[in-house]
Amino acid sequence: MYTITVISGDGIGQEVVGRALKVLDAVAKKYHHQFTFKHALAGGAALDAVGVPLPEETLDSCRASDAVLLGAVGGPKWDNNPPHLKPEQALLGLRKNLGLYANIRPAKIYSALLDASTLKREVVEGVDIVVVRELTGGIYFGTPRGVESKNGEAIATNTLTYSESEIKRIAESAFEIAMKRKKKVCSVDKANILETSQLWRITVTAVGQKYREVELSHMYVDNCAMQLIRNPKQFDVIVTENMFGDILSDEAAMLTGSIGMLASASLGGKVALYEPVHGSAPDIAGQNKANPIATIASVAMMLRFSFNLQKEAEDVESAIQKVLDNGYRTPDIATANTIRVGTKEMAEQICSIILRQ
């Protein structure tokens, strides 16, 4: 029996998480597991209900669970809230309080979606990248921060800080993942300008000495952003700091045809968190248009990393592949001669294949 705290969040989070739970139900039925879902609030939904983006009750539920499944948070409704009352503070709070320092974001192109990518087929065919993003340090968490008035004008401050230990542990995560893949790590920084990046490069290089089988390279973040579009197949595992990873992983997502395809796992603490990389997309919320595959693929990562259910994870991933091969597409990945379906129908197709295969 596995207990999962479910935080649907805002916008399309409600829809895609609901469909992912149906997939877990299918897995439970096939393999005779029991998944217990504890629903909790975070983000805008929590602000509306209790006035804070991350209630203590939600944190308590997460800590007492085997894993956490999150949909998405945010939306224009809360754009004018003060910084500490913005929905996104829930994400930062979850990462910090659960000790989730390693964000694993795979970006793999499905053969059936080669024509859905905005890049040429020969550029994206065979792309299989994992971005390992440091998640609890850097400019998102640095202090001092804030906005103050000096000499009659507003001045905003954010602080970028990294310690050697923070860099070491995320580097070790990247090298361990690389050992199970093509044994290539590209560390991305801005060491020609930033002291934090200079420490980053020195520390990652030192960690690499322990992994002699892994080929380590270094790349400036601006060049990496270009190379991801120019020649993405050169990459296997990319490891980088918090803000760079946030940007680069979204860029990598578009290689796959849609950000609606990109899953993620946040690891490091006793309880891991799984979520799609996409946002709350309020413009299509409630319209049965959202792509549930990123959330369903996140569930597959949960089965693998938190529950050690390898066969079940492979079943979910295989079902996603087969549904795409059969021509089913949500609007974000639909092309000519494909079968356009909604959020609910896509998940139903995946569940059906899980139970049959």
Domain boundary residue, one of 257, 278, 300: 257
96 and 18 fall within a common domain: yes
Q: What pLDDT score does 242 carry?
A: 97
236/233 Cα distance (integer angstroms): 8
Q: Kindly tell me if the per-residue pLDDT of 5 is higher than 90.
A: yes
User: Is the confidence at residue 335, as pLDDT, over 90?
Assistant: no
pLDDT band, residue 326 (cuts 50/70/90): very high
Residues 209 and 341 in one domain: no
C-alpha span between 156 and 146 (Å, rounded): 6
Looking at the predicted structure, is the pLDDT value of residue 257 above 90? no
One domain for residues 244 and 195: yes
115 lies in the same domain as 251: yes
pLDDT category of residue 213 using cuts at 50, 70 and 90 = very high
Is the domain of 240 the same as that of 317? no
Examine the domain organization and report whether 191 and 273 are in the same domain.
no
Q: What integer pLDDT is reported at residue 254 of this predicted model?
A: 82
Q: Does residue 45 sit within a domain?
A: yes
Residue 341 has a pLDDT of 97
What pLDDT, on the 0 to 100 scale, is given for residue 250? 87
Distances (CA, A) of 192 to 51, 198, 216, 227: 44, 8, 18, 18
Whether residue 210 is contained in a domain is answered as: yes
Of the residues 257, 284, 300, the one at which a domain ends? 257
Give the mean pLDDT of 232-259.
93
Q: Which residues are catalytic?
A: 140, 190, 222, 246, 250
Question: CB-based burial of residue 295 (10 Å sphere; 0-12 exposed, 13-18 middle, 19+ buried)?
Answer: buried
Please state the domain count of the chain.
2
Percent of the chain having pLDDT more than 70?
100
Q: Is residue 184 part of a domain?
A: yes
Residues 114 and 97 in one domain: no
| Domain co-membership, 90 together with 124 | no
127 and 84 within one domain: no
Domain final residue pick, 257, 279, 302: 257
Is 180 within the bounds of a domain?
yes
- Summarised one tens digit per residue, pLDDT across range 110-162 is 989 888 888 899 999 999 999 999 999 999 999 999 999 999 999 999 999 99
| Judgement on whether residues 86 and 26 belong to the same structural domain of the protein | yes
List own/partner pairs for 118-126 with CB under 8 A and 24 or more apart.
Answer: 118/254, 119/229, 119/255, 123/229, 123/230, 123/231, 123/232, 124/232, 124/255, 124/256, 126/233
In a domain, 263, yes or no: no
Q: Is residue 262 part of a domain?
A: no
Q: Which domain holds residue 176?
A: 108-257
- Quick one: which of 326, 353, 281 has its CA closest to 113? 326
**68 and 122 assigned to the same domain:** no
Which tens digit of pLDDT belongs to each residue from 64-118? 999 999 999 999 999 999 999 999 999 999 999 999 999 999 999 998 988 888 8
Please tell me the pTM assigned to this model. Answer: 0.89
The verdict on 207 and 285 lying in the same domain is no
Q: Is 90 exceeded by the pLDDT of residue 258?
A: no
Q: How far is CA 270 from CA 98, 219, 306, in A?
A: 7, 32, 9
Q: Taking residues 284-307, what's their average pLDDT?
A: 97
Q: Assign residue 309 the CATH number of its domain.
A: 3.40.718.10
